[in-house]
Structures are given as structure tokens and as C-alpha cells.
Amino acid sequence: MASYARSRPALDLPRPGRAAIPFAVLCAVALGFEAVPRLWLLAALSAALFAAAGTLRALAARRELAAVRRTADRLILQGPRHAEVDALAAWRSRELTAPARRRSLQREVERTLRALAPDRLPSASPLRRPAARQNAELLRLLADRLGSERPVGARGVLLAAGLLHNSGSPLYSEGADVFLPRALTRVLGALEP
């Protein structure tokens, strides 16, 4: 009996570096014409325009890639539904669960823990220190889990990033003493694959 693997659609993701390559080549060619004394001004102007166009194209591709990432994040939080969504969610999950991303989030949690030290003076940070101090053990567990070698779920990484970065998260908002332990427990649970 023959088994057929599900074919996954190839993702055509924006690539900011590749988007600028044609303009970089044109810029190099235009600079080559600077060797001709009569054309140096035209060559320099052309090279500058091609460099500017390449930069704009790279920025547009970067903005488009950020939009694709936001869409994939939303789909991961909701759960994949069909093949295209599966492929997009799988790509973003690999990005989110990469060791570098996990280490970055771990450092942010550790930075938050250092900010909770009693010998530190309060800063302009909107961090709800009393509630966070009460949940320091859960924050340590989060940092340890992000730093461990065990695999993590992409949804958990998204929830952890939201907890650390979103100004409306229980780490920064009113009612932190009630909602922060729930949020941290939810994040720790979602980190399990």
C-alpha cells in the first residue's frame, strides 16, 4: 500500500535582503561608469538613486514580512485550520522557538527579576513591583523554562512575549496581584509542546 505525504504549499515570504539585490547591482554598474570623466556626475547620481530605491524596497519587504509574522502569530494563537495556515504557522513556530529567540526572552525575564530587587530604586517603568515580587518564583520558572534545552510551544513563546512587551499585560496593569499569577501559569502551561 502506497502512502502519500501531505504536500505543503511553499511559502513565498518577503526577503528584505533579496529585494534590494537588483538595485545593488544597478548601483554597482552605475558606479563603474564614474571612471568615464564625462559621465561621473550622471553615474554618481544614478548610483545614489539606485541605492535609495534598493533601501526603499528592502524597507517595504521588511514591513511586509512583519505583517506576515503578525498574521502567523494570530493564527498560532487561534490554532491552524488548513494547509496554507499550517505552513505559515509552522514557519513562524520555527522562528519563535529558535534558541536565539528563547534566550532573548529569557534575558528579558531575568532583567525584570533584577528590577524587582529590594535594593533597586523605583524607576519610571510601569512594572507593578509588589505583584511581580509576589510572583518572583513563577517568573524564575519562566526564565528557567525558556533557557532549558527542552522544546517549547510557539504559543507559549507568543504569550511570554505579550506578557513582557504589552503594556496592557498583568505585569504592568491594574489588578496585577490577581491576574499576574494566572497569566504566568497560563504562559508556563502553553510553553509545554
- Given a cut of 90, is residue 129 above it in pLDDT? no
Q: State the pLDDT confidence band at 15, using cuts at 50, 70 and 90.
A: confident
pTM: 0.74
80 band by pLDDT with thresholds 50, 70 and 90: low
**Dihedral (C-alpha) 115, 118, 123, 125: value to the nearest 10 degrees?**
50
Q: State the cell numbers at 1.
A: 500500500
The answer to whether residue 173 scores a pLDDT higher than 50 is yes
Instruction: Answer with the residue of higher pLDDT: 25 or 177.
Output: 25
Reported as a pLDDT band with limits 50, 70 and 90, residue 8 is very low
What pLDDT shows up at residue 1? 42
Is the pLDDT at 79 greater than 80? The verdict is no
Would you tell me how many other CB atoms lie within 10 Å of the CB of residue 175? 10
pLDDT band of residue 84 (cuts 50, 70, 90) is low
Higher pLDDT, 161 or 40: 161
The pLDDT of residue 72: 86
Structural domain boundaries in the chain: 16-94, 98-191
Please list, in sequence order, all residues whose beta carbon lies within 8 angstroms of the beta carbon of residue 64, skipping any fewer than 6 positions away: 14
Beta carbons of 68 and 33 less than 8 angstroms apart: no
CA distance 173 to 46: 52
